[in-house]
Amino acid sequence: MTEQPTEAVAPAAEPTAPAAAHGPRRTRRVLWAVARWTAAVVVCGGVGAGTVMGITALDRNEVPGLATESDGRWEYPVLSLPALPADRPRPFTEGNDGEVHHADVRRLLLPAPAGATVDAKLNGGFVSTDAYLSLYGKEFRGELKRTLADSTLRHIAARGWTTPDGTRTSIHLLRFSSVAYAESYKDTALQADGADGPKALPDGVEGTVMENFADDVHVPDTSLYAFREKKPYGPEQTRWAYVQAGDTLALITQTRKGEPLAVPFQQTVTLQNQLLG
């Protein structure tokens, strides 16, 4: 930084020299100092403005100190809702009292994320009731099967995959004839919203803890209930969630050695919820 030049101060006791004799020289020196400071300010201001413009023109990840680390989310394809048959309404529109999804339920399944290996048995098609029930403990399967037989279950579509970190994901969409049957199965057989936790537990799970992120997922006209396996558990832990959207009930499960990571589980559940809503 350029220092402003200092001036010699005449002794106060010697006023013999006329003040006017030093006026022009003093004025020139002051003006020159001001000019130099003004030039310095302009240069600094220009450099500062250029830095700001450069930062705002860059992507956030390109600015040192502002790069955003990956939070563990999976890379899913761009999602879109399937087309509806002619003259058929969306499930939560006026006139669709049964809250029926008229789109092909297989098209409502969340696709596998990038890098995942798709399960050959859960490739996005229809599966049997027994295949779906195999997700639950043996002690629950009989009652669930009888309830489904007495209901108006139309079909079950499913997709599953395994990501490179070993997380196994499955999504089953159970489509009933109306919202009333879907809610009855969820509330009576599964007791997904029970105060003591769900009644029917995934195979190998003995205790549950409710996930607290469900209250932060706001998809109109749907209900979300999410759980994780309570400690102590074996070499793997299971997380699972139910999404009830009109006539369709989704079961999303994730299992991983150690424990399934919270972020991709919440992401997967939220995206599937949005597809159904």
As given in the structure block, the two tokens for residue 6 are: 């200092």
Number of folded domains in the chain?
A: 2
CB 105 within 8 A of CB 276: no
Residues 236 and 116 in one domain: yes
pLDDT tens figures, 96-140 = 999 999 999 999 999 999 999 999 999 999 999 999 999 999 999
Residues of the chain with pLDDT under 50: 1-69
Give the pLDDT confidence score for residue 148 in this predicted structure.
96
Give the pLDDT confidence score for residue 32 in this predicted structure.
40
Residues 62 and 161 in one domain: no
Give the pLDDT confidence score for residue 262 in this predicted structure.
95
Residues 60 and 189 in one domain: no
Could you give the CA distance from residue 260 to residue 235 in angstroms, rounded to a whole number?
12
Give the pLDDT confidence score for residue 176 in this predicted structure.
97
Residues 146 and 30 in one domain: no
Please count the other Cβ atoms lying within 10 Å of the Cβ belonging to residue 72: 12
> CATH code at 186?
3.40.1000
- DSSP-assigned letters across all residues of 44-103: HHHHHHHHHHHHHHS-GGGSTT-PPPP-S---PPPP-PPPPPTT---TTSTT-TT----S
As given in the structure block, the two tokens for residue 192 are: 């997904």
Give the pLDDT confidence score for residue 65 in this predicted structure.
34
In a domain, 51, yes or no: yes
In a domain, 207, yes or no: yes
Residues 244 and 145 in one domain: yes
Residues 44 and 154 in one domain: no
Domain extent for 62: 22-70
CA 91 to chain centre: 24
In a domain, 88, yes or no: no
Residues 199 and 263 in one domain: yes
Residues 55 and 110 in one domain: no
CB 201 within 8 A of CB 239: no
Residues 129 and 176 in one domain: yes
Could you give the CA distance from residue 95 to residue 88 in angstroms, rounded to a whole number?
10
Could you give the CA distance from residue 70 to residue 54 in angstroms, rounded to a whole number?
24
Closest CA to 213 of 263, 172, 274: 263
In a domain, 92, yes or no: no
> In the beta sheet, which residues pair with residue 228?
209, 239
Could you give the CA distance from residue 174 to residue 89 in angstroms, rounded to a whole number?
20
In a domain, 3, yes or no: no
The pTM of this model reads: 0.74
In a domain, 199, yes or no: yes
Residues 38 and 131 in one domain: no
Residues 131 and 258 in one domain: yes
In a domain, 87, yes or no: no
Give the pLDDT confidence score for residue 70 in this predicted structure.
67
In a domain, 134, yes or no: yes
Could you give the CA distance from residue 64 to residue 55 in angstroms, rounded to a whole number?
10
Residues 109 and 59 in one domain: no
